[in-house]
Amino acid sequence: MVWRATKGEFLLKSPVVILWTNRAWLVALGTIGIVMAFLLILTYVSVKVSAPLSEAVCGKTIVIDPGHGGIDAGAKGRSGVMEKDVVLDIGLRLADLFNRAAVYTVLTRNTDDGLIEPGNRSHANWKRLDLEGRIALATEHNADIYVSIHANSFPEQVWSGAQTFYHSKSDDAKELAIAIQKELVSRLGPNLRKAKTGDDYFVLRKSTMPAVIVEVGFLSNPREEALLAQADYRKQVAEAVFYGTVNYLVESYKKGRLQEGDESRPSSDLPSEFTDIQDYASLYSRARAALNLEENEVALYFAGPTNFDDDLMPEVREIPGLGAESNPDSRASRVVQELIKGPARGSVLCPTLPRGTCLKSVKIVDNVAYVDFSEELMENHWGGSRAEELTVYSIVNTLTDVPGIKEVQILIEGLVSSTIAGHIILDEPLSPNFDIIEFKQF
Ligand SMILES: [Zn+2]
């Protein structure tokens, strides 16, 4: 009866019920007291927990750099999705997320236009000025972090997965890249890609604060192109970059606090990596010796065949009469011509030089090979920072294998400081990159 009665009924009908009701009030008051005490404790704990978050994040300045823009569309997907549009949208969403967390943001562009208009400058001059301007903006604003957003591309459709790059000069950039990559993988997976060094990327080379390039996926992969065309997916990408950056800031803050209290900073918990350049060089020379090249043979470096082998791999090729070639410039020129032809018929490897590329000249001076290509190297390139890096080092690593060449200066239409796809400025002779070679294939 009590359970079915309305509130008004049991107050009037029975003293037992009234007694029960009084006890109920006591129980209710007690419960409310316990809940309030619990809430107070919870509030205290949550303030304690979130305090580092707000102190670590609020008031920071982050430069968000959506790559390319204007007449430089960057990479293009088969169904027409353009890198410049995708990265601008993600950049704007990212800025919004940071602003809501009381983080100052500086966008290097918030419209379709690039930072600097080409005017009547040469392509090389304009791209360099544009990239320099983006870094200058970050320096002017005394930014704490620089996040450049790009989309990748490759001649083979199979390559996929978002990936974050950093410069090996900065441990902080490495930690930031690892934190962002972790969120990209957990939120957008499946993806086996790891944070990777990209020491030749201009913005990473020139930045004075922790800087990363986030390649949000491959526009050359139809599945990822379709995903990147969806607003909801771009929102998830922005969230992944946001949470990765926040996690990095909180971790840095905690380490800073530990350091303040105790001079003996704990050793980094980053996975140990094989980064000693000397080790790479000796591994490379041993691996190269194992190729056992004949007098007329060279090792040509092409891109790996699968999504998990996005490094350079050697193909041994015989060039008749190469050993008897006495002119070093002609010898180097013949090797580059073979590289332009691409991997041998039936090879699983991928080309690194775009169709239509012509070699204009090779001149060796003081062990530096000056290699001049036609504009198709730039105009027909498929874009993407990693793909650009593979193109550059397929040329550099192949040529520095030729006796008498230690460094390579790549030129386009006779110009130094050119760029093939807008991420690497070819402003100085380059040494071979041992880190970019897949050793297991030797
Ligand atoms: Zn790009």
Dist. CA 28 → ligand 1 center (Å): 62
More confident of the two residues 18 and 87: 87
Q: Check residue 23 and give its pLDDT.
A: 59
Of all residues in the chain, what percent carry a pLDDT higher than 90?
A: 64
- Count the Cβ atoms, other than its own, within 10 Å of residue 6: 7
Q: Check residue 115 and give its pLDDT.
A: 82
3-state SS, 211-253, equals EEEEEEEECCCHHHHHHHCCHHHHHHHHHHHHHHHHHHHHHHH
pLDDT at 22 over 70: no
Between CA 142 and CA 348, with CA 426 as vertex, the angle to 5 degrees is 115
pLDDT at 49 over 70: no
Dist. CA 155 → ligand 1 center (Å): 15
Give the tens place of pLDDT for each residue, 54-93. Answer: 788 889 999 999 999 998 999 999 999 999 999 999 999 9
Preceding amide of 210 cis, omega within 30: no
CATH architecture of structural domain 59-261: 3-Layer(aba) Sandwich (3.40)
The span from the CA of 203 to the CA of 198, in Å, is: 10
Give the tens place of pLDDT for each residue, 279-319. Answer: 667 777 777 777 888 889 999 999 988 777 788 999 999 99
The span from the CA of 265 to the CA of 220, in Å, is: 44
Dist. CA 83 → ligand 1 center (Å): 7
Task: Please state the φ and ψ torsions of residue 97, each to the nearest 5 degrees.
Answer: -60, -45
Q: Check residue 353 and give its pLDDT.
A: 97
Dist. CA 176 → ligand 1 center (Å): 19
pLDDT at 21 over 90: no
Dist. CA 254 → ligand 1 center (Å): 33
Q: Check residue 431 and give its pLDDT.
A: 95
Q: What is the rounded average pLDDT for all residues in the chain?
A: 85
Domain chopping of the chain, boundaries:
7-53, 59-261, 277-441
Dist. CA 286 → ligand 1 center (Å): 35
Q: Where residue 269 falls among pLDDT bands split at 50, 70, 90?
A: very low
